[in-house]
Structures are given as C-alpha cells and as structure tokens.
A and B are shown apart, each in its own frame.
Chain A
Amino acid sequence: MIQTLDASRRWRWILPFLGAVVVAYALLAPLTSLDAAQAINLPLLADKVWFRIATIIAMFVVLATAWNIIGGLVGYAAFGNVAFFGIGAYTTGMLIAKAKWPFLLALPLAPIAAAIFAALVGLPLLRLRGHYFAVASLGVGVAVGELVQNLDYGGQPIFGGASGLFLPIFSIDNRGLFFFYLMLGAAAIAIAVTWLVLRSRFGYGLIAIRENEEAAAVMGVNTTAYKVAAFALAAALTGLAGGIFSQWNVFINQDNTFPIEYNVQMILMAMAGGTGTVFGPAAGAILLQLLIQFLSGSLPITLDLPFVPSDARPVLAQIILGLLLMLVVIFAPRGVIDFFGGRSRLSLSYLRRSLRETSI
C-alpha cells in the first residue's frame, strides 16, 4: 500500500516535469533560427517544417480549449464551431485584402465579429437542448461556409467566391517564427481565459447549467445570458485563431476555413484530454495533432509502416484515428488528464469500470 502510494507520488512530479521540459523546448528551440542566434553559431534546433506543425498544433489548442468552454463547461454539444473560425478568418482576410487594413489592426476585429455572430445565432439556438442543439449548430456551420463561398453582389462574389481570397504577405523577418509565437499567444490566452472562468462566479453558473439547467435557473442563474456569453466567448477565441490563420496562410477559401472535420477534431481533442478541465483540451490537442501529423507522414520523423504502400497511408491514418476515437470514448471517457494528478491510475480495473458505467 505504502509502495503504491510512493509510486504514484513519484509519477505525480515526473510527468509534469517532463511536460515542462517538452514545453520549454517547444517554446525556446525556434529562437535558434533567428539570424542573431545563427550568427553566434547556436545549433539549429527547429526548422521551418517544425514551425508549421507547431503552429497548427497551437491552433488546435485554441480550437479545443475554446470548444471546451461551451461543450465542456456548459455541456452544450456545439458541432458548428468551425463557423467562428471561418468568420474570424474572413473578417481579417477581407479587411486586409479589400480594405487594405494593416494585419495587426484587422486581427482584433476577428474575435469581435465571431462573438457578435455567436451571440446573434446563440439566442435562438441555445434554447434547444441535447441533439437538437448539436444538429442546429452543425447546420449553422455548414450554411455559413456555403454563404461565404457563394454570396455575390452584382455578379461579383463578395468574399472571393469559389476561387478564394488572397491576402498580401505580411512582411516581417522570420514570418514562420512570428506566426508561431502569435498562435502560441492565442493558445495561452485561451487557456488563461478557461482558468479564470473556472474560478469565477460566471464559471460556477456555467457548471450549474451543465449539471442541471432547471436547478441553476431556480438558484438565480440567468441561464440564457450565461449560455450566450459562454458561446460568444468560445466564438471569440475560435475567431482569433481564424484571424491569425488567414494572414499566416495568405490564402483562404471555404475548404480551409470551414472544414467540417475540424468540428469533430476539436471535440475529439477536448474529450481525449478531458472536458471541463483547464489543460485537458490542450493536452489532447497536442497529442492527437502530433498523431495525425505522424500517421499522415508529414512529420520529419517518419516510420515505414509494414505492409502499407505509401499512397494508402493517409487512408490508414484515418482508420486508425477512427478506431482511436472509438477506444477513447469507450474506455477513457474522462480523458487522459484523469491519469495525472493522482486521481486515477490507468489499470485494467479502471477500463473495466468505465465500460460498466455506460453499457447495458
């Protein structure tokens, strides 16, 4: 008994320590690519390929953490959050490409536009519960993407149409590095916002709604206002990521700013990490995005999978992702974050208990 306690104590500090080392490396290694660092012959610890992947990972940390605010804290299964990503991307993109605004001035308007849109659609949608809300939010996500691609005025597409929207390149030294830290800043904001919300009266109200909406209302929580505020907050963070994405990627269209699969990926990441927690969605986003990149063969470190021709690799990656999704849902419903901090240990009896809780 004492031995297992000791063992779990040892685990308790080793894992956060390892995590801190990895995070510190990820944060600082890119700096070695600066001209100043190269001039004094520091070894190059991270190249452009890594920046790109690290920026994508940071983007998904924002998306999963933002989804967690509406999906994890309020318990409303939002399936159309990608609409906010696209609205953020197109707000910044249009202001830069058509109105010739500078990027740093156009970026703050992305979260504002997304939040306003979320508040407007949230008022009717958040009256729906359960599946109905999930489906209706999915519908909004699909419909907004289609409208953005196809709306035209006097024969001219308003938002660039099917051929998309090209932005002028934001000229700065080390563009990759700049956008990596920008996206990282957005991720830090998202996590900090979640942390603050969870410690506020607002956060307690949201959790009360998740646990029992009628009881929360009786206790004096203004459920409509709280739900709409949470939805708008999630939208603002998602829109911020979209705004950064538009200038980083330089080209935006319906396919890369309204991809339906992002809806599922952000939820999967939040669930794999642990919904309703501060760091769970971020952990899930990092792990799963690394896995997705590895399986599809775009990481610099790749392994030749046996019996698999290279052209079948992306397909196989999707199959593995699907199986993983099923395993997570069945066996680890509280996410991997449940194994840290000594609350539970990964063991056969844990898996058996999770299985028994939900099956008939």
Chain B
Amino acid sequence: MADFVQLVILGLLAGGVYVAVGVGFGLVWGVLNIVNLAHGALVIVGAYLTWQLFNTFGLDPFLSLPLVAVALFAFGYALQRSIINRIIRAPLLFTFMLTFGVNLVLINVLLLVFKSDFRSVTTSYSGQGLELGAIVIPYTRLASLAAALLLAAVLAFILNRTRTGLAIQAVAADRDAAQLVGIDLRHLYAFTFGLGAACAGVAGGLITLIQAITPTAGEPYTLQAFVVVILGGLGRVSATVVGGLAFGLVEVFGQSIPGSGSVFANAIAFGLMVLVLVTRPQGLFGRIH
C-alpha cells in the first residue's frame, strides 16, 4: 500500500514537468494551429539559460524562472513575428517542417556554444526530502510541481482575465471574425507564441533540477508534450494540467512494471496516445471543435 501511495506521489510529482512542457505547446497548437516541433529545443534553451545564471551568478533555479520566462517570451515573439507568420496560412505540413528547421538550428547552435557535455544544477537542498513514514517526497520535485501549477494558473489568468487573453481566445475561435473586430493578428500571434515559448523556458528551468542537460535532451519533450496535450485535450489550460499529471502517473507506473517496463516508456506513452486519439479524439477533458 505504501508502495502504491509512493508511486502515485512520484507520478504526480513527475507530472509537474509535463504540465509545464504541455501548457505552452497546447496554447500554440490551439490558437495558432501550429504543432511546434521546436518546443523541446525552446525547453532546452530555457534550461541552458537557467544553468548559465546558476553557474555565473549562483542564482537559484527557482528565482531565475521569471528571467528565463521573459527572455524566452522575447525570443518567441521575435521568431513568430519575423519567420513563422510568413507561412501561417500554409498547409500544416509547412509549419511542421518550418518549426523542425528552427529546432535543428537551435539545437545545433547550442551544440556549437556548449558542446555536448552533460551539465547539471545542484542546489543545497537537492537530495533532501520530506519523510512521512515510509513515504518520501523530494523537495525539489515538490517545488517543481508547485511552480508548474503556478505557471498554469498564471497562463489561465492571462487567457481568461486580461484583454489580450480574451483576444487570443477570440482568434482561436475564429481568425477572420477576430480580424474584423480590429484585432492585430500579427502582434497577437507573436504574443501567443511568445507565451508558449515562455512556458517552455520555465519548463526548461524546472528540468535542470531533475536531470543533467545536453543540447539534444529536449527532443523527447516535444513528443511528450504531444502526448500530454492529446491526453488532456486541446483548448483549455486545465485539461493540459490533468493530461500532464496523468502522463506522469502513466510513466511512473509503466516504469514500475517488473521486468522491462522502463524500456517501453515511449511505447506505452504512444500506445496510450493512439488509443485516446482513436477512441476519444477531443481528449479526456477537451472541448469538441
């Protein structure tokens, strides 16, 4: 029983990172209709920024999250405004390929600058945990989950309670009608992509706490962001949060299968995704478009 509770807790904690990775990806997908293959690369850019701030100034990763978010927002805004807006009306394959090109450039520029060495951030409190009887809750993971949920809450607030957020939702609902009522699409698309990139940056900051990073370490996160968004459903931040936590649980329980459960992590995740797609395409909690 304690084992089971421990697994559930570990799964939810692991889900924190997936929530952070998923919300930005889901926002860009839902509003811009872009499946952003560079999302994992943006996550890793955020991770390297966090690592650099920690290494040079000794800044705690949690404190550098807002800085990373602002930097990635600016980068994402510029990227969408200058490049991705150019093909926003092309068939989906084009945006797929364009963002993959961005992914390739980002990862290889990181490889040029940082080489492929493993880098990690070790804080004074890493390795410590809250012990409740037989159950252990690592502090960094708990704080990561809290940060991810805070990120989702901030994003939901921006989308539902601010003028820009309502404009974003209007564009997602009907692009042409939104333009007719005077919404500046170029700016708004760039703003949305910037928000998505900022979320990716925060996710990257959280990732430095749980794993060593290399320039190519972000690629699995693009795929996992897919799965998370599809599990939860497109169109709502809360659905992505549920999807992220569910994915964390699936991963932890999949790895605990005796024998070779851990090597099938991807197969389990994708099998689940295909199952959800075929039986319930709007996701577990999504809205039907």
| Stretch from B105-113, B121-129, B135-143, B200-208 at the A interface | B105-113
> Is the CB–CB distance between A325 and B281 below 8 Å?
no
Could you tell me the dominant secondary structure of chain A's interface residues? helix
> Is the CB–CB distance between B277 and A323 below 8 Å?
no
| Stretch from A13-21, A199-207, A263-271, A340-348 at the B interface | A263-271
In Å, the complex CA distance between A136 and B230 comes to 10
With CB as the reference atom, state the residue of chain B lying closest to A139.
B270
> Is the CB–CB distance between B97 and A329 below 8 Å?
yes
> Is the CB–CB distance between B104 and A325 below 8 Å?
yes
Indicate which residue in B89, B98, B271 contacts A329 across the interface (CB closer than 8 Å): B98
Query: B87 an interface residue at 8 Å Cβ cutoff?
Result: yes
Bits for A322-360, please: 1 = Cβ < 8 Å to B, else 0: 111110111001000000000000000000000101111
Bits for A164-191, please: 1 = Cβ < 8 Å to B, else 0: 0000000000000000000000000000
> Is the CB–CB distance between B260 and A360 below 8 Å?
no
> Is the CB–CB distance between A360 and B88 below 8 Å?
yes
Closest CB-CB distance, A258 to chain B, in whole Å? 11
**Total chain B interface residues with beta-carbon distance under 8 A:** 48
Closest CB-CB distance, A227 to chain B, in whole Å? 15
CB-CB < 8 A to A322: which residues of B? 100-105, 108
| Stretch from A42-50, A90-98, A311-319 at the B interface | A311-319
Query: B90 an interface residue at 8 Å Cβ cutoff?
Result: yes
Query: B264 an interface residue at 8 Å Cβ cutoff?
Result: yes
Bits for B26-55, please: 1 = Cβ < 8 Å to A, else 0: 000100010100000000000000000000
Bits for B66-109, please: 1 = Cβ < 8 Å to A, else 0: 00000000000000000101111111111011101111110111
Query: B170 an interface residue at 8 Å Cβ cutoff?
Result: no
| Stretch from A26-34, A102-110, A140-148, A236-244 at the B interface | A140-148
With CB as the reference atom, state the residue of chain A lying closest to B276.
A136
In Å, the complex CA distance between A135 and B88 comes to 19
CB-CB < 8 A to A271: which residues of B? 93, 97
> Is the CB–CB distance between A267 and B97 below 8 Å?
yes
Given A322-B103, A325-B100, A326-B98, verify A131-B273 contact (CB < 8 Å): no
> Is the CB–CB distance between B274 and A326 below 8 Å?
no
> Is the CB–CB distance between A146 and B267 below 8 Å?
yes
With CB as the reference atom, state the residue of chain A lying closest to B281.
A132
Query: B186 an interface residue at 8 Å Cβ cutoff?
Result: yes
Query: B1 an interface residue at 8 Å Cβ cutoff?
Result: no
Closest CB-CB distance, B221 to chain A, in whole Å? 14
> Is the CB–CB distance between A131 and B92 below 8 Å?
yes
Query: B191 an interface residue at 8 Å Cβ cutoff?
Result: no
CB-CB < 8 A to A268: which residues of B? 97
In Å, the complex CA distance between A324 and B97 comes to 11
Indicate which residue in B35, B107, B260, B266 contacts A134 across the interface (CB closer than 8 Å): B35
Query: B226 an interface residue at 8 Å Cβ cutoff?
Result: yes
> Is the CB–CB distance between A315 and B112 below 8 Å?
yes
In chain A, residues 103-142, which have Cβ atoms closer than 8 Å to a Cβ of chain B?
A: 124-125, 127-128, 130-132, 134-136, 138-140, 142
Indicate which residue in A79, A136, A325 contacts B101 across the interface (CB closer than 8 Å): A325
> Is the CB–CB distance between B98 and A135 below 8 Å?
no
In Å, the complex CA distance between A152 and B260 comes to 9
> Is the CB–CB distance between A77 and B93 below 8 Å?
yes
> Is the CB–CB distance between A142 and B266 below 8 Å?
yes
Given A77-B92, A330-B98, verify A359-B104 contact (CB < 8 Å): no
In Å, the complex CA distance between A330 and B100 comes to 13
Query: A71 an interface residue at 8 Å Cβ cutoff?
Result: yes
> Is the CB–CB distance between A360 and B92 below 8 Å?
no
> Is the CB–CB distance between A77 and B96 below 8 Å?
yes
Given A130-B92, A359-B85, A360-B189, verify A139-B274 contact (CB < 8 Å): yes
Query: B263 an interface residue at 8 Å Cβ cutoff?
Result: yes
Query: A299 an interface residue at 8 Å Cβ cutoff?
Result: no
> Is the CB–CB distance between B98 and A315 below 8 Å?
no
> Is the CB–CB distance between A136 and B277 below 8 Å?
yes
> Is the CB–CB distance between A267 and B260 below 8 Å?
no
CB-CB < 8 A to A79: which residues of B? 96
CB<8 Å pairs between A and B, sample of 28: A75-B91, A125-B278, A130-B92, A132-B281, A134-B35, A135-B277, A139-B223, A139-B274, A140-B270, A267-B97, A316-B112, A318-B104, A319-B108, A322-B100, A322-B108, A325-B101, A326-B98, A330-B83, A330-B86, A330-B87, A357-B89, A358-B88, A358-B89, A358-B90, A359-B85, A359-B86, A359-B88, A359-B89
